[in-house]
Amino acid sequence: MSARRRGDRISDFIARLVAKRWDERLLGPPSGRAAGIPRSEDETRARRPGPDGPFEAPPVESGTTASPAPGGPRQTPPRPEMTSPLTLDRVETVITGALGYEVQRHVEDGRTSLVGMWGSYPFIFEIPEGHDGWLLISGGWEEPAGPALRDELAAAVNDWNRDKLFPTVTINDAPGGPAVRASYLVDLEAGVTSDQLRLHVDTALFSCTQALSRIRPLLPEL
């Protein structure tokens, strides 16, 4: 696929993503929905810094091997993990296994997604229709802002998108007014290892929750 055609596909998908209206899956957890709570709060604090600190990715195992002791047997370096196609099952395994969270499957119009709560924000994990190999992770406010605050909220969203590479933040029209949605989109059509997938999921959750908690209407000081 040429670089121009690939760029057109990405631009078209992002345009449709930004134009999407309120997603009912972000209306809050129904009764019995599993929450995205870590097995241990200590694990979460150890993995993520404070809201003003830089994000440090968890260490990824390398394929290098320490030099053998003089006269000792030469060690064979482990084989690096090969990339595999992206599937929702693999995403669920990373979330519930490596990261220690809980999610629930949601089926709508024959398509399956994963849903869960991180902090006070509902999140969705999905492979968008017509874009196999792409991973979309998005979270949103549970409660919308007042309709009168839309212009101020739009200014805050524009400031975020201008200064940050990811996630992409949009305003969606909820039944009660405008609400903020943060989306992390990555093209994994070439395949992905388990470590790479874990890093993408962890980065998406951290950056999206940070955006959702920091963006507020730019109201004048009284």
Q: Can you give the residue ranges of every domain in the chain? A: 33-48+82-143+183-222
**What is the residue type of 167?**
P
Rounded Cα distance between 14 and 75, Å, is: 47
Instruction: Give the integer Cα–Cα distance in Å for 123 and 132.
Output: 20
> DSSP readout, 96-147?
IIIS----EEEEETTEEEEEEEETTEEEEEE--TT-TTEEEEEEE-SSPPPG
Helix (H) or strand (E) holding 181: strand 177-187
Q: Are 57 and 199 in contact (CB under 8 A)?
A: yes
What is the C-alpha to C-alpha distance for residues 55 and 47, in angstroms, rounded to an integer?
A: 9
Which pLDDT value is given to residue 22? 47
Backbone angles phi, psi at 9, to 5 degrees: -65, -45
Can you give the pTM of this predicted structure?
Answer: 0.68
pLDDT per residue rounded down to tens, the chain (222 residues): 554 555 455 545 555 554 444 456 555 444 434 445 444 444 443 344 333 444 444 444 444 445 555 666 677 777 788 999 999 999 999 999 989 999 999 999 889 999 999 988 999 999 999 999 999 999 999 888 888 888 889 999 999 999 999 999 999 888 888 999 999 999 999 999 999 999 999 999 999 999 999 987 655 543
Residue type, 46: A
